[in-house]
Amino acid sequence: MINLEISAAHEEVLKNTRLLAEHMMRPYSRKYDREEHTYPKEMEEVAKLLGSRRGAPQGSAKPADGKVVNGANMGAVIGLEGLCWGDVGLFLAIPGSGLGNAAINAVGTPEQRDKYGNSYAAMCITEPGTGSDSANISTTAVADGDEWVLNGEKIYVTDGERCDTLVVWATLDKSLGKAAIKSFIVEKGTPGCEVVRLEHKMGIRASDTAAITFTDCRIPRENILGSAEVAATAEARKKAFGGVMQTFDNTRPPVASMAIGTARAALDLTQEILAKEGVELKFEKSPANLSALEADLYRMEAEWNAARLLVHKAAWMADNRMPNSKEASMCKAKAGRMGNQVTLRCVEMCQSLGYSENALLEKFARDSKILDIFEGTQQIQQLIVARQVLGKSSSELK
């Protein structure tokens, strides 16, 4: 049986996160949007209410009887929808686990998960000359006795200044291409690791986005994510890169859910504003009897629901240990595009009020753009889906 509704437990998660968003995030949205790079101390209370961790997806073991379960990934995307209905920038600024935690929990050794699983870990992938092509990493990692020596520069690191741990993508041998890419755990404060600047951004201004350099940065040999054996042979390195890339299968649905929450916020506020002018959704009307504004609202509601269902499917598959690379990219592509289109159209529909700072609509529109970019751009997601559908490798379909 197909059930398109979320469970009662997850309904409670959504209700509670929406309450937090409404009463403990929205009141500070404009303040920290204007005061970029100012630490939002109020979010510490939100972190306490959410628990010690803010929901890095981990997946759930499939039960022995084969029954379907809804676990950590489903709970994460639903909670993110509620929090990002409040403010996606402030959500990203909540002290707790970052995107690096998803990598540690996905491919780290038991010892690494114990040591760093509850740290505040950021992910360092993008470089000045490497954007969407993650296999083109230039930051190097060279073995030297009982240590690795890292050299390179990372940009657009979400939570890069405020985190305490970094998961850094680096190459063991540039000539070997993607097979030599591996992740390394670097503790903030390690000599040679330096935050060199914070970026000024169009949206999510409450969240810090950093550039970080590594200059002869030495870390313990055991801080290669996974284990030292993954770098021992060419075949092991090839498999290791596949494991690193699978991290995205767990992180893309949550980012897509951020777009779901932001778009929902824009739709709710737009309908509230338009209702005062006598424009309300009445689904009993036939399409032929709809005004242009009503037709637009109906279309956006349909797009929103389609994206949300794709997100839930990808999260459900992750919870049940089912390969979900295609579905993760599908939901990220759909939700990212939908979020951009819906928030911008909401600004247009509300005219001067949508464009002014008297309402949060213009902020929702600015915040939504990054959700279509980070964790893989729209174009990259479509390429991944095409490869999966057509059965092509990355070398066959570029």
Find the catalytic residue in 81, 127, 362, 375: 375
Q: What angle do CA 74, 165, 249 make, to 5 degrees?
A: 30
CATH number of 119-232: 2.40.110.10
pTM: 0.89
35 or 398, greater pLDDT: 35
The percent of residues above 90 in pLDDT, for the chain, comes to 68
pLDDT for 61:
42
Q: How many CB atoms lie within 10 A of CB 15?
A: 10
| Per-residue pLDDT tens digits for 154-164 | 999 999 999 99
Cα–Cα distance, 348 to 176 (Å, whole number): 49
Query: Looking at the predicted structure, is the pLDDT value of residue 67 above 60?
Result: no
Cα dihedral 158/160/162/166 (nearest 10): 110
CA nearest 293: which of 331, 250, 245, 346?
346
| Tokens found for residue 58 | 């981990």
318, burial (CB in 10 Å: exposed 0-12, middle 13-18, buried 19+): buried
Of 36-50, 224-238, 275-289, which has the strongest mean pLDDT?
36-50
Q: Is 44 an annotated catalytic residue?
A: no
Q: Kindly list the domain boundaries of the chain, sorted by start residue.
A: 119-232
